Structure 1
Amino acid sequence: MKVTSYTTILLCMIILLAACQSQAIQGKNEPQSASKNEQSDADKATDAQAIDDQWTPRTVTFGEQTITLEEKPDNIAALSLDTAQAVLALTEPGRVVVASQSIDNEALSHFVNEAEQIDGRVKGATRLDPEEVLAFNPDLILLTTTHGAESDALQFFQEANIPTLTFDSWHTIDRIQEQLTVIAEAIGEEDKGQALIEGMEQTKDNIEQAEGSPSIMAVSQVGSTTGPYVLGPSSIAYDIISHVGGVSASDELGYDSSSPINIEQMLAVDPDYIILVNWGNVSDEFKNLIESPGWKTLTAVKQNRVIEMDAKDISSPNPFVMDTVKSLSQQLKEQEG
């Protein structure tokens, strides 16, 4: 009986001891599990900090401009469409706090979807309000100065000690590459900038130019209610036409910039190809041209060589212009065949 009692007591003690150990282990595991989660969050924060720590303070020089950036700019104001598209081709939209309202126009912009993540908008260049821009607390301002209002705003930004880079034109592919490189350096995306430029150069090397230097007339609006204009040397369209082996009809008209065009001038030049450039605005300028008596007598019309293109592909400077050169070159080659 005593042995049985002792055995019973011993079994009970073993069971109790096992239960206590199980609770102890469980108690240890619960905080440990929470600790792992906390460590995971900490690791994420550390990784993010490590990325920021890779930023090297820099001085960026472009022409006569010099700016110093002690910290990585994450509140970028891209106040013209060309600078906005350059930035969005290089980095995520979350780093942009305000952009030109043209970024939302599907006919003008390659980044309509990305622009949905950008809260701020500014109006066109002639109506730029510098105080409105500063309300977004930018740490880097990028703009193209082609109007007096932009020049006035530039002085305002400089007095506010906001690092600001300005560009006066994006009218050639070489200029796009040059200014893309400057922006990439300013925002810390040199590798992406270099990759974009290398891609452009590879496309350029494989372009098959048109035979016989065909005359190409690019007709467009140059604003929401202007036109029609023939795009001349002041437009990226001029350089695109040159890269496909064509000759801009603006040369035949003696224009040194984009200028108004009418059906009589078109008939006088009678270009081999006509490109109608869509800005995404409802207007009658193309309607009036097409309905005019002389339209159907144009060589380009009779030979079905009228090409319709969105402005983002032919007259809005951006890092994808070589894609347009490639596409247009292929269209011309098909016509030759």
Structure 2
Amino acid sequence: MSRSLLQRRPMVGGSSTLVRAAAASVLALALVACGGSDDGGSDAGSAAADESTNESAGDAADEPGDDAADGPGDDAAADGDGPSSVVALSSDAAEAVRALAGVDRLVAVPASTTNETLGNHPDEMAQVPNMVPPSSGLDPEQVLAWEPDLVVLTARHDGEEDAEELLQQTDVPLVAIENNWGSVTQVQENYRTIARALGTDAEQRADELITEMEQELAEIAAEVEQAGESADAPTVLVLTNQAENPFIAGPESMTADVVRRAGGIPAVEEAGIRGTMPADPEQIVSLAPDAILLVDVMGKGEESFGSLLGNDAVAGLPAVAGGRVLMLPSRSVLAAGGVDVVDGIREVAEWLRSDAFAEASAQ
């Protein structure tokens, strides 16, 4: 089962400065890996990690009520103010802090948050004074030099888990999200967890945002249900360009949740595929999806999918030949988009109810 840890890190030894210096040397390798969650070969790693690793979380990851241990959230909620110098080491966490408490409380965010393909608020994020670089350039001593009063990370990789353990050697409060942001439910749970660390105002804002999300999701669900009375749910294959070659998104990814909520069926689910995997023309043909959703993580657009969709066998699929292919930026359908993922769900739902699908179901 996934867990979200919220713990106040006690002072180790008598000097905060000495503890930070000692921890920085040990943190070097771990925080390099942590920073890598927003790299993926460019600034796209956090979104890529959402799609490639959250299969391991399993169905239990969506269970509510498994949020956090006592920690900085309790103190923040008590004083009503909360941390004012927050370092967010993953883009999804950075977006959550921005939405809950404003960009002014952030002192460092991943560089990927300023990428308009990956984030919904690149201009605001560009105002943050410090950027956490890709893994190859992250300096762990610099993270501590920013003197955060809260660090938020997403422990998707072993390196980030190591960073979580090693940060316990400092006096820096830490929120470690470990459920991979793999569904709308997880996004909502994580917003509440982070809000508790940010203070009472942030908790109220989380309630407001989640209420708005639920209202919009209910509207979409009603529209989907009505449409389902006249047509079968289409199978949808999700392809992402998170690496040099496209990948097939697995059934436990955020995009799979988007497809389901939009009224589709993940094609990989029907085929019994359990995880994210490299996209292969033969595999795509065997899946024979009714539609294909392309998720642009790298900001390279259609050209990054060109060789795959241009394959003769793939091009001959009814979904491709019939024009039932949609490309969206990752900010619309991945966790880095935060609560705005609802807009992506609505867009996919409208696409699945478009004339192209009505004509296909009538044939």
> Shared topology, TM-score over 0.5?
yes
What displacement does 1:281 show?
4.2
Distance 1:184 1:265 in 2: 42
Q: CA deviation at 1:273?
A: 0.8
Q: Which residue of 2 aligns with 1:33?
A: none
Match of 2:71 among 53, 67, 73: 67
Q: Which amino acid aligns with 1:233?
A: P
* Equivalent residue runs for 1:309-328 within 5 Å: 309-317=328-336, 318-328=338-348
- Candidates 239, 244, 248, aligned match of 2:257: 239
Aligned AA (2:320)? V
Match of residue 199 from structure 1: 212
Q: Which has the larger radius of gyration?
A: 1
Look up the match of 2:99. Answer: 89
- Unpaired runs of 5+ in structure 1? 1-57
Contact 1:80 1:125 in 2 (8 A): no
Q: How large is the Cα RMSD of the aligned pairs? A: 2.4
5+ residue gaps in structure 2? 1-6, 9-64, 359-363
Q: Which amino acid aligns with 1:242?
A: R
- Aligned pair count reads 278
**Cα-to-partner distance string for 1:120-169 (whole Å, 9 max, x where unaligned):** 11134687543221111000111101112212221232111211011121
Q: Give yes or no for contact 2:264–2:352 (8 Å, CA) kept in 1.
A: no
CA distance in 2, matches of 1:125, 1:195: 35
Residues 283-292 or 304-313, more deviating: 283-292
Give 2:250's aligned amino acid. G
Quick one: which amino acid aligns to residue 175 of structure 1? Q
Q: Does the 8 Å contact 2:155/2:177 carry over to 1? A: yes
State the percentage of identical aligned residues. Answer: 30
State the shift of 1:323 in Å.
1.4
Q: Distance between the aligned counterparts of 1:206 and 1:126, measured in 2?
A: 44
SS at match of 2:70: strand
The aligned runs of 1:72-151 (5 Å cut-off) are: 72-124=82-134, 129-151=139-161
CA distance in 1, matches of 2:247, 2:136: 20
Task: Note closer, same or farther for the CA distance 1:148–1:132 as it changes in structure 2 (3 Å cut).
Answer: farther
TM-score by length of 1: 0.76
Partner of 2:186: 175
Write the distance in 2 (CA, Å) between the matches of 1:62 and 1:93.
27
Contact 1:232–1:250, Cα closer than 8 Å, also in 2: yes
Q: Which moved more, 1:139-148 or 1:209-218?
A: 209-218
Alignment-derived partner of residue 229 in structure 1:
247
Aligned CA distance change for structure 1 residues 143 and 90 (closer, same or farther; 3 Å): same
Distance 2:350 2:67 in 1: 37
Structure 1 residue 84: deviation in Å? 0.6
TM-score w.r.t. the length of structure 2 is: 0.71
For the structure 1 residues 101 and 151, does the alpha-carbon distance in structure 2 shift closer, same or farther, using more than 3 Å as the test?
same
1:290 maps to which residue? 309
Q: Give the ranges of 4+ consecutive aligned residues of structure 1 lying more than 6 Å apart after TM superposition.
A: none
2:87/2:106 contact within 8 Å kept: yes
